[in-house]
């Protein structure tokens, strides 16, 4: 989930770190940069270093996997002679056995990445770089995107297996990066690495090779990228900015689905009709969106299921009659990519809903719908979730008639207008250690999603659950003033569940569209199910945001998390 940069052009450290800053959502435990003359790395967020010109640079922003958050474990890493420097995104799963075979080398860190530097140091004693790269591909297990720089060499060397890597082609040189955001303000020309590819990059050009060929140069297509992904920050935090942007993002998606992406939706509808089973695969917030999608499709008479990506291959049968629909904000979620591997070989078709164009999952798909949420900077997803849910509900509406999406945006705007009341509730929750969110039917996925936001951003243990499951264990945890958000949409069963909690001293916070005596409510001005679900979700987002503000937490960059989950 780290962000990596490699620059082969006349540049300076300030420009390189500016590009790296655009990837900081991928990890912010530490950062580092190495150029022709500079080698700096520090714990924490990206900060300026002494500005100097250079013709070659690599840089890295880290989400820690192997080794604690220390300067020694920060990238770039080097070999014993400080001649080879490299940055790495991914995990070398057999690094310990590789390390055991490197006799006489001195290791300064706890990371799997440093082993790569010493591996190349050893191999380059007896072979050229191409042969050394072939040896590494044979020896290494796991996933990696690596950019390697050798002092005195005018080339950068890039290797890709599993983790994403792209090349931006500019007029005065070339830029390697984990994704196009890093260089999207500098060029629209991008080349995407395929699996098991190796490239030699210089200021003057590039050559790509496939590891299963005899290292013959490959022709690569340049893609014109259309989305810069630039964001101007106007608020205290990106999270609140992205919450406010949701009505506009939904309207943008609706227009796209009715025009530019209309044919894609019709093709996807036919794929569903021709399949015996439709199954979604997703992780985290996107999984909660698929729970809503499955609900709306089933309501429309279309049998559909969803499965957590990390367990997909353990629990789901796939054959030629299966349509798999992957849902991912980044389009690079490793668990989802792993779930999709080999599925076409079994005869399955793959579709997807993603937010990032040209992403790996999009390129693996027979049909891919862009959810048009725009770039999210905050690690916790807000507008991507609502647009995923809207996109899936729109798909369901193709089977049972239209849906008034204007009602959805109006309901969300109404929730945002109640922000001051939500702030006051947040003040009463900032010292709580546990919270529960209950819902039934289409509101069960909302309960799960609100609980996830509470955990991610406000660091409160939260559980989102079906109201009917309270009596199977959770009631034992209800004490005096335990806060429970009840998602009440006219269902008598959920009211009964809330009363069970209240009878045991719990505090009910109703999110409801009707009169209630359960507690002081957040009013959801919505009649239809989709409007209620998304308005309640936004209410949960705002509540979480303001709890975190009360606690003075790092809202956009919560501890231990990163936005693009590119490791298993």
Say what angle helices 405-416 and 529-550 make with each other, to 10 degrees: 30
Q: In this structure, what token pair is assigned to residue 431?
A: 């010292």
Query: How many other CB atoms are there within 10 angstroms of residue 220's CB atom?
Result: 17
80 is annotated as an active-site residue: no
The C-alpha atoms of residue 158 and residue 8 are separated, in whole angstroms, by 12
The C-alpha atoms of residue 454 and residue 433 are separated, in whole angstroms, by 11
The C-alpha atoms of residue 438 and residue 446 are separated, in whole angstroms, by 9
The C-alpha atoms of residue 361 and residue 334 are separated, in whole angstroms, by 10
Backbone torsions φ then ψ of 392, nearest 5 degrees? -70, -35
CB of 225 within 8 A of CB of 188?
A: yes
Backbone torsions φ then ψ of 223, nearest 5 degrees? -100, 130
Per annotation, catalytic residue among 2, 41, 160, 383: 2
378 is annotated as an active-site residue: no
83 CB-near residues (< 8 Å, 6+ apart): 121, 150, 151, 152
Helix (H) or strand (E) holding 497: helix 492-503
Q: Please spell the DSSP secondary structure of 361-395, one letter per residue.
A: HHHH-SEEEE-------SSS-SHHHHHHHHHHHHH
Please provide the size of the chain in residues: 568
- Tokens 């109006």 belong to which residue? 410
CB of 445 within 8 A of CB of 291?
A: yes
Q: What distance separates the 2 farthest-apart alpha carbons in the chain?
A: 79
CB of 8 within 8 A of CB of 203?
A: yes
- Tokens 């950019």 belong to which residue? 147
Per annotation, catalytic residue among 21, 421, 563, 568: 563
CB of 120 within 8 A of CB of 136?
A: yes
* Residues designated as active site: 2, 563
């Amino acid at each position: 989930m780290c962000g990596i940069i490699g620059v082969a052009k006349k540049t300076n450290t300030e420009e390189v770190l500016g590009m790296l800053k655009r990837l900081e959502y991928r990890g912010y435990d530490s950062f580092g940069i190495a150029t022709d003359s500079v080698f700096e790395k520090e714990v924490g967020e990206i900060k300026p270093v002494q500005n100097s010109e250079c013709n070659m640079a690599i840089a890295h922003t880290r989400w820690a996997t192997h080794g604690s958050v220390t300067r020694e474990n920060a990238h770039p890493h080097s070999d014993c002679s400080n001649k080879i420097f490299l940055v790495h995104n991914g995990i070398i799963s057999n690094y310990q056995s590789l390390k055991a075979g490197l006799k006489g080398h001195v290791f300064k860190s706890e990371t799997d990445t440093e082993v790569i530097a010493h591996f190349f140091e050893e191999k380059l004693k007896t072979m050229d770089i191409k042969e050394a790269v072939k040896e590494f591909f044979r020896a290494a297990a796991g996933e990696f995107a690596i950019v390697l720089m050798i002092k005195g060499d005018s080339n950068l060397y890039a290797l890709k297996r599993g983790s994403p890597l792209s090349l931006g082609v500019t007029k005065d040189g070339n830029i390697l990066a984990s994704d196009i955001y890093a260089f999207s303000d500098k060029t629209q020309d991008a080349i995407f690495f395929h699996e098991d590819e190796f490239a030699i990059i210089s200021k003057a050009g590039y050559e790509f090779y496939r590891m299963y060929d005899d290292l013959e140069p490959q022709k690569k297509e340049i893609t014109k990228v259309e989305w810069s992904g630039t964001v101007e920050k106007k608020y205290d935090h990106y999270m609140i900015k992205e919450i406010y942007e949701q009505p506009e993002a939904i309207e943008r998606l609706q227009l796209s689905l009715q025009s530019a992406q209309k044919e894609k939706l019709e093709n996807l509808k036919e794929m569903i009709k021709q399949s015996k089973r439709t199954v979604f695969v997703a992780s985290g917030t996107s999984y909660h969106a698929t729970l809503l999608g499955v609900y709306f499709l089933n309501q429309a008479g279309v049998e559909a299921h969803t499965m957590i990506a990390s367990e997909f291959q353990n629990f789901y049968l796939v054959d030629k009659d299966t349509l798999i629909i992957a849902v991912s904000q980044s389009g690079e979620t490793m668990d989802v990519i792993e779930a999709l591997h080999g599925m076409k070989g079994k005869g399955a078709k793959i579709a997807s809903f993603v937010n990032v164009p040209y992403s790996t999952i999009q390129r693996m798909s027979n049909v891919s719908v862009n959810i048009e949420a725009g770039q999210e900077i905050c690690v916790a997803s807000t507008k991507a979730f609502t647009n995923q849910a809207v996109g899936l509900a729109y798909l369901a509406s193709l089977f049972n008639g239209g849906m008034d999406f204007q009602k959805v945006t109006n309901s969300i705007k109404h929730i945002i207008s109640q922000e001051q009341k939500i702030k006051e509730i947040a003040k009463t929750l900032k010292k709580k250690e546990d919270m529960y969110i209950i819902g039934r039917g289409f509101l069960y996925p909302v309960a799960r999603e609100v609980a996830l936001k509470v955990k991610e951003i406000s660091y409160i243990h939260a559980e989102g659950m079906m109201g009917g499951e309270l009596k199977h264990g959770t009631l034992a945890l209800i004490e005096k003033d335990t806060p429970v958000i009840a998602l009440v949409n006219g269902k008598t069963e959920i009211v009964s569940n809330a009363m069970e909690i209240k009878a045991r001293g719990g505090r009910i916070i109703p999110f409801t569209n009707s009169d209630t005596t359960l507690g002081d409510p957040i009013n959801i001005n919505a009649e239809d199910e989709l409007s209620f679900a998304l308005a309640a979700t936004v209410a949960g987002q705002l509540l979480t945001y303001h709890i975190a503000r009360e606690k003075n937490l790092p809202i956009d960059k919560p501890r231990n998390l990163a936005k693009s989950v590119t490791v298993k």
